[in-house]
């Protein structure tokens, strides 16, 4: 087995344990797309865990920035996900703006950022989920702006589903993704909710709103699947149905994501995989939907523009990302100084 094959096997194992829904859907992708997709998701999983599972979140994001720099310099760290993702970047001319967007979203997480409006939640979802959807299109050699816009719809929908599913779990970790203006309208402060998360009616209504928004975007996203290579369609349909199925489980629980966490069973996933294969087959004879040409969400337009433009000289780090990383670096320096000063004080 070559080193590249070993790296790919490591990435596949990471996804098998870390993302059951994507692992199931990826089985329907052709090998030419499935393997680079596993490398992409493994690097994204590594990035997410590097921040989510670390106490020093600011330092973790800054280290990820360095790792991404090395990937784009063609000198990845000696780790399977880094090497595999570097190969993907080179093979597919992956625009730097796309993984940078993901990094920006992780920086927002590290800062404990909250989101005032649904549009702000879309901004966050664009970075941590839609950016990955656009990178998947790049792996399929799809750069058409309309198809990219629908891939963003799917990514945002999937993230809204994640947020709706994890309301209680996030609250226990001190994280809040529900729009704070929704909480204010219900007379709930973020502090009181995080201190004692309960599935009160207002919170369940907010969760329902997220699920309904996700369902709207799942429907819009389907129009873009027909614009993908034939062999890739069933895998993308599967991702759409599996994640929408999580929303269905949330609905079945009365939109209470605090008392329990929604999940789908293996038989359900298998049924959706079969449905996805059948649905993909019909796209060869059905006319394209006019929804394909709908304007992209304002919050994802920068991703569509980045992927549609393949010229490497346009790969520049966004001002927003630079600002987020600068804030993190300053926070990290202040923390270290306070620790040093604390140790230096006489007892």
Kindly state the average pLDDT of the residues 174-180.
97
Does residue 318 lie in a domain region?
A: no
Residue 266: the pLDDT is 86
Poorest-pLDDT segment among 105-114, 165-174, 258-267, 332-341: 332-341
Residue 57: the pLDDT is 77
Reported confidence tier of residue 332, pLDDT bands at 50, 70, 90:
low
Does residue 210 lie in a domain region?
A: yes
Does residue 242 lie in a domain region?
A: yes
Rounded Cα distance, 37 and 287, in Å: 28
Helix and strand numbers, DSSP H then E, in the chain? 17, 0
Task: Yes or no: say if 106 and 46 are a contact pair by the CB < 8 Å rule.
Answer: no
Any long-range contacts for 9-15 (C-beta under 8 Å, 24+ apart)? 10/42, 10/80, 10/81, 10/84, 11/38, 11/39, 11/41, 11/42, 11/80, 11/81, 11/84, 12/38, 12/42, 14/42, 14/45, 14/46, 14/81, 15/41, 15/42, 15/45
Provide the greatest CA pair distance for the chain: 79
pLDDT in tens, 19-70: 666 667 777 788 899 889 888 888 888 887 777 766 677 788 888 899 999 9
Is pLDDT above 70 for 165? yes
Rounded Cα distance, 164 and 256, in Å: 9
Can you give the residue range of the structural domain that contains 78?
3-310
Does residue 342 lie in a domain region?
A: no
Task: Yes or no: say if 193 and 171 are a contact pair by the CB < 8 Å rule.
Answer: yes
Kindly state the average pLDDT of the residues 167-191.
96
Does residue 320 lie in a domain region?
A: no
Is pLDDT larger for residue 59 or for residue 257? Answer: 257
Does residue 317 lie in a domain region?
A: no
Reported confidence tier of residue 347, pLDDT bands at 50, 70, 90:
very low
State the average pLDDT for the chain: 87
Burial class (CB within 10 angstroms; exposed 0-12, middle 13-18, buried 19+) of 217 = buried
pLDDT in tens, 299-319: 999 999 999 965 544 445 555
Kindly state the average pLDDT of the residues 136-156.
96
Reported confidence tier of residue 206, pLDDT bands at 50, 70, 90:
very high
Poorest-pLDDT segment among 16-30, 91-105, 328-342: 328-342
Is pLDDT above 60 for 346? no
Kindly state the average pLDDT of the residues 71-98.
93
**Closest CA relative to residue 122, chosen from 179, 51, 175:** 179
Does residue 328 lie in a domain region?
A: no
Residue 97: the pLDDT is 94
Percent of the chain with pLDDT over 70: 84
Residue 343: the pLDDT is 56
Percent of the chain with pLDDT over 90: 59
Mind giving me the DSSP string for 217-245?
Answer: HHHHHHHHHTTS-HHHHHHHHHHHHHHHH
Residue 341: the pLDDT is 59
Kindly state the average pLDDT of the residues 324-333.
65
Query: Domain tally for the chain?
Result: 1
Kindly state the average pLDDT of the residues 280-291.
78
Is pLDDT larger for residue 46 or for residue 256? Answer: 256
Does residue 30 lie in a domain region?
A: yes
**Closest CA relative to residue 108, chosen from 42, 61, 163:** 61
Burial class (CB within 10 angstroms; exposed 0-12, middle 13-18, buried 19+) of 341 = exposed
Number of other CB atoms surrounding residue 269 within 10 Å:
19
Residue 143 belongs to a domain with what CATH number?
1.10.600.10
């Amino acid at each position: 087995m070559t080193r590249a094959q070993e790296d790919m096997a490591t990435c596949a194992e990471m996804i098998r344990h870390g993302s059951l829904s994507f692992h199931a859907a990826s089985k329907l992708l052709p090998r030419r797309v499935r393997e680079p997709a596993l490398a992409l998701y493994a690097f994204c999983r590594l990035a997410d865990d590097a921040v989510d599972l670390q106490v020093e979140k600011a330092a973790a994001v800054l280290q990820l920035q360095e790792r991404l720099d090395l990937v784009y310099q063609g000198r990845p760290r000696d780790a399977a996900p880094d090497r595999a993702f570097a190969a993907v970047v080179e093979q597919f001319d992956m625009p730097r703006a796309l993984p940078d967007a993901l990094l920006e979203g992780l920086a927002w997480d590290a800062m404990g950022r909250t989101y005032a409006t649904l549009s702000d939640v879309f901004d966050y979802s664009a970075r941590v989920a839609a950016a990955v959807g656009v990178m998947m299109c790049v792996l399929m050699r799809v750069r058409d702006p309309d198809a990219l816009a629908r891939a963003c719809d799917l990514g945002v929908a999937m993230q809204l589903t994640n947020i709706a599913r994890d309301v209680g779990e996030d609250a226990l970790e001190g994280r809040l993704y529900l729009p704070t203006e929704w909480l204010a309208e219900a007379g709930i402060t973020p502090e009181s909710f995080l201190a004692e998360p309960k599935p009160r009616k207002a919170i369940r209504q907010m969760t329902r709103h997220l699920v309904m928004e996700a369902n709207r975007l799942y429907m819009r996203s389907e129009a873009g699947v027909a614009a993908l290579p034939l062999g890739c369609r069933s895998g993308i349909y599967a991702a759409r149905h599996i994640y929408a199925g999580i929303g269905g489980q949330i609905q079945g629980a009365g939109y209470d994501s605090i008392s329990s966490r929604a999940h789908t069973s293996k038989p359900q996933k298998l049924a959706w995989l079969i449905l996805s294969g059948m649905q993909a087959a019909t796209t060869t004879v059905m006319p394209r939907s006019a929804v394909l040409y709908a304007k992209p969400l304002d919050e994802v337009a920068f991703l569509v523009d980045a992927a549609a433009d393949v010229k490497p000289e346009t790969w520049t780090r966004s001002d927003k990302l630079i600002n987020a990383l600068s804030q993190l670096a300053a926070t990290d320096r202040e923390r270290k100084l306070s620790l040093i000063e604390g140790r230096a004080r006489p007892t």
